[in-house]
Structure 1
Amino acid sequence: MSSTVWASLKQQASTAISLRQEFAQDPKRAAKFQATACGIHLDFSKNLITDSIWQSLLKLATQSDIQRKAQQMQQGDKINNTEQRAVWHMALRAEAGQPLLLDGVDLEPEIAQCRSQMASLITQLHQGEYLGYQGQAITDLIWIGIGGSLLGPQMACEALLPYNQSPVRIHFAGNIDGAVVSDVVKGLNPATTLVFVASKSFGTEETKQNALAVRQWFTDNGADKAAIAQHFWATSSNIKAAAEFGIVAEHILPMWDWVGGRYSLWSAIGFPVALQLGMAQFEQLLAGARAMDQHFYAAPFEQNLPVILALLGVWYINAKGCQAQALLPYSHYLRLLPSYVQQLDMESNGKSVDVDGQPLRLDTAPVIWGDAGTNGQHAYHQLLHQSALAVPSDFILPAKVSHELTDHHHRLAAHCFAQTQALMQGKTFDEAKAEVLATGAPEAEAIALAPHKVSPGNKPSNTLLLPELSPYYLGALIALYEHKVFCQGVLWNINSFDQWGVELGKQLSTPIYQVLSGQKESRFDASTEALIATFNQFRNS
């Protein structure tokens, strides 16, 4: 980041700002700090910024590499420098028929062929034409994956449940906890169940073990090798490993090394979503994301939604010292969005070295957390309102809903807007005291109780309004957060597209498993040795 601009921002960060005063002194503040794109409206007026701070942040963006790096990403340069890979998930949502040249090869036919395979299988499943090994139509799909191979499709399926057009029920299995697979297969009939194994390497431990457990469930119920081949599909780049598992080549949809797991919803990883919606509505999901791509590349920074969110995030993390961000969707169907963005943001930008491997001098990536409103209001909003911590929050609300309980939605929206208002303005001691006195309480009681009712306010938030939670607007919303994460990675000069930190725990788990399963003797640190001993004691008692 530009040292001159950043020095100015750090200096401005030390000056106290009263959001109450800013709104009182500037009647145009709400109009100034808002932007709309792809139908999504962003109100960012309740942030701890002044005109001067905002202009400095925009200058920071202008002097950064955002435009150049975005162009490199778009043209297929290997901006994932540690793995020497292009970052090309946007190609998966490009206009049909558009040439997609990567290293001189047009990948559009390959992407179109994958989409065609998905469409053909979905048509068969929707029409009851895909039959199981006992000649019955498929009624259930088990999707086995983890991380990006599961979080995206599971979140999108939940979000778009009102658009369901499929007679096939979808079940997700990710965690290696045996209870997951056990619960998923309970009550299902293998003769009417299709299984999809989603793993780029076909070697991810959790996915592989769950796939083996489901395959065993099939064989325990009389399925032979031919039945396994009939019921199992995969999306993977390791054709050999999938074939050794028993999946025939024509049942393997491609995965590409230029698509990271957490950016793969737009590929065959999105099959459960396409199955649920039908291909026409899945195309709308892609269209919404494509529209946000076009906005990101074309809009000036001051009206560019991903850039705006990225700059505000950098401001809070690096200038104001905030270490967390709350993602608060006021929509039951978006309740998995915080988990999805956790991976998208924290796995992408949770780094401590720059693109050249040099130690960073600043923090990157907040701790993302949240849940659907209004549930959080009766849980952690207490901390948001009254603690000394400042937790920047994104509130997300669709204006139109699929159900007919209009009054419920008006109340939900009222709570959403009230929370952002309360976080911004708070409640002073005098206001709290007057509130207690209004109940008829004596002066001494009001003075004693008022401090407990004070909320400091000045807590920042963004509000994102969607016309409705449709495939199009969900696609645009997801792409908005993708591009925000990219911009912040550029501002911090880090590689947002590798995740080497995920590997260490995996590597260390193997020898521990070998000890727990009796394959070797224990040779670990004292704490791990003690935990293993106690674990075995509990299991054997």
Structure 2
Amino acid sequence: MPGVLSRSAAWRALAAAAREGGPSVAELLDQDPQRFERYSLALDDLLVDLSRHPLTEPVWRQLLALADERDLAGRIEALFTGEPVNASEGRPALHTALRRPPGEALTVGGEDVAAAVHRELERLEALVEALRAGRWRGYDGRPIRHIVHIGIGGSECGMTLGCEALAAEGGGGPAVHIVSGVDGRELAEAWRRIDPAAAVFVVASKSFTTQETLTNARTAWAWLAEAAGREVPEQFVGVSADEAAMARFGIPEGQRLRIGEWVGGRYSLPSAMGLPVAAAIGTAAFRELLRGMHDMDRHFRTAPWAENLPAVLGLLGVWQISARGVGSHVVLPYHPGLRRLPAYLQQLDMESLGKSVTQDGTPVATPTGAACWGEVGGNAQHSFFQWLHQGTGRALAELIVPLDEAACPAAHRGLTLANALGQAQALAHGHTPAAGEPAAAHRAYPGSRPVTLILFRRLDPYSLGRLIALHEHRVFVQASLWGINPFDQWGVELGKQAAKALIPAARGEGPPPAEADAATRGALAWARRWQG
């Protein structure tokens, strides 16, 4: 692994250029009629337009040089060949193996990981086909028509995104209800919508120890047993890396789906975790999702830097965050099916890049990561776009637009694209009021807001898989340049441990733990007055 980023010659040149400033984005666009062609990359129907970033040819050359100085090619090969790139946990990150086509072997530690993945995928597909064909029946003989997926974090976010984004693909599939919150309200809402005799509960937890998931699962087990007059293990499926834990819970052997320890939750959609998505859209469509991911994997591994979409996005992200002071990555999908995409990328970005030490444990020398958030673009235009256009924060806006409008009424066609392009243009160019214009200071837009525009033909399983993999690899590039580990998440654990110790006091079953501070004790005392 190369030394710290700040010692790279290319990085020092990039940082110096950022300090010196340069032409505005509007000036760059006005000066170069070929700027769109110069700073846009394409892969089939997928366009990534970077022309609204303040890129110049010297900056572009230094960004590409930075990839070589930081040995990005070596890091990519280490990822794909199963080296222990997750250094703090001493294991590989093999999520790309989850979407390798049959026949592409990958041997790691003496095991053909790809073959094991395909065996589990076949088991997943057998369960899905039984569900969709009506052969899986509940305790009174009626076919299963509902899936209640119980998971949280990486075991929930990708499943919700997949089911919402691909809802149009799901003819004939069971209805999917996703439960994550620990307070029981989501579970009660799911019960209101389902018939217990026609529902399967999927308990999804890599460790099978997640407090929220197991609490909900035990409550669901008891609810179903009460409805049936007996325990009904045949209406439960488990997805975990710990088969013994699934067995202890009571999941039947044929309904225990396994995932590898080497896949993080935020990368688990193409694994057996994706059961609810596969059930909703069908196995052929699920295979298309995997194919889209694999095609982006192959592009990332083989394309030269200047044409490599994830590499260029990662290089650009590091430059914007660490050299130009951008603190936010705002995700703006212009399609209602991608409503959950900002939250999905929020976990991917912030869990992966929210690190303050390098792989060897030394403090980082530059800012890493950014706050990742967003909303469906059309809605956001009427809320926080005010902050994007005229606020003092520095944000990178990513506008994502599927182009196919076949499902839209004729009067609505073209409006989404026009809005996205109009906002991109306004963010880039800004506006200077005319002399004497009323309230001129309030009507001024500074412009030069960096914008990434992503266009593709239509939202379908293939394009969704490709888009997800694009961002997975973009995050990996950023982590590689900063020298941090994107595959651990130790920061998630501390708050969980504190919460576990507070459960008895929060339930009124005992005093606060000794380590609870005065503020926590005060809040507990106040809560007891009003909990009822």
CA distance in 1, matches of 2:126, 2:34: 53
CA distance in 1, matches of 2:421, 2:510: 59
Cα distance, 1:10 vs structure 2: 1.4
CA distance in 2, matches of 1:107, 1:54: 38
Q: Is the 8 A contact 1:324 1:368 kept in 2?
A: yes
Partner of 2:449: 459
Secondary structure of 2:93's aligned partner: coil
Question: Which of 337, 340, 361 lines up with 2:341 in the alignment?
Answer: 337
Question: Which of 22, 39, 59 lines up with 1:33 in the alignment?
Answer: 39
Cα distance, 1:40 vs structure 2: 1.1
Q: Is the 8 A contact 1:306 1:480 kept in 2?
A: yes
Give me the TM-score of the superposition, normalised by structure 1: 0.95
CA distance in 2, matches of 1:130, 1:7: 62
Alignment RMSD, CA only?
Answer: 1.3
Question: Does 1:513 find its partner at 2:517?
Answer: no
Question: Does 1:384 find its partner at 2:376?
Answer: no
Secondary structure of 1:157's aligned partner: helix
Partner of 1:126: 132
Q: Is the 8 A contact 2:41 2:49 kept in 1?
A: yes
Question: Does 1:313 find its partner at 2:305?
Answer: no
Partner of 1:45: 51
Q: Is the 8 A contact 2:428 2:447 kept in 1?
A: yes
1:221-300 matches, cutoff 5 A:
221-225=227-231, 228-300=232-304
Report the residue type matching 1:298 in the other structure: T
Cα distance, 1:416 vs structure 2: 0.3
Report the residue type matching 1:345 in the other structure: D
Question: Does 1:66 find its partner at 2:66?
Answer: no
Q: Is the 8 A contact 1:38 1:291 kept in 2?
A: no
Question: Does 1:478 find its partner at 2:468?
Answer: yes
Query: After superposition, what is the alpha-carbon deviation per residue over 1:280-332, rounded to whole angstroms, capped at 9, x for unaligned?
Result: 11111111111101110111111111011111111111111111110000011
Question: Does 1:503 find its partner at 2:508?
Answer: no
CA distance in 2, matches of 1:107, 1:538: 53
CA distance in 2, matches of 1:347, 1:147: 10
Question: Does 1:214 find its partner at 2:220?
Answer: yes
Partner of 2:529: 537
| Worse overlay, 92-101 or 498-507 | 92-101
1:183-222 matches, cutoff 5 A:
183-222=189-228
Secondary structure of 2:22's aligned partner: coil
1:422-461 matches, cutoff 5 A:
422-430=426-434, 433=435, 446=437, 448-461=438-451
Report the residue type matching 2:98 in the other structure: L
Partner of 1:3: 8
Secondary structure of 1:17's aligned partner: coil
Cα distance, 1:406 vs structure 2: 3.8
What number of residue pairs does the alignment pair up?
Answer: 524
Secondary structure of 1:274's aligned partner: helix
CA distance in 2, matches of 1:294, 1:525: 51
Cα distance, 1:26 vs structure 2: 1.2
Secondary structure of 1:312's aligned partner: helix
Question: Does 1:527 find its partner at 2:531?
Answer: no
Partner of 1:440: none
Report the residue type matching 1:142 in the other structure: V
Cα distance, 1:165 vs structure 2: 2.3
Segments of structure 1 that go 5 or more residues without pairing to the other structure are 434-442
Q: Is the 8 A contact 1:76 1:87 kept in 2?
A: yes
Segments of structure 2 that go 5 or more residues without pairing to the other structure are none
Report the residue type matching 1:358 in the other structure: T
Q: Is the 8 A contact 2:239 2:272 kept in 1?
A: yes
CA distance in 2, matches of 1:193, 1:402: 34
Secondary structure of 1:338's aligned partner: helix
Partner of 2:484: 494
Which stretches of structure 1, 4 residues or more, deviate above 4 A after TM superposition? none
Q: Percent identity?
A: 37
Cα distance, 1:402 vs structure 2: 4.9
CA distance in 2, matches of 1:401, 1:179: 36
Give me the TM-score of the superposition, normalised by structure 2: 0.96
Secondary structure of 1:202's aligned partner: coil
Question: Does 1:355 find its partner at 2:341?
Answer: no
CA distance in 2, matches of 1:284, 1:406: 29
Query: After superposition, what is the alpha-carbon deviation per residue over 1:122-160, rounded to whole angstroms, capped at 9, x for unaligned?
Result: 111111111111010111100011111111111011111
1:365-404 matches, cutoff 5 A:
365-404=369-408
Partner of 2:96: 90
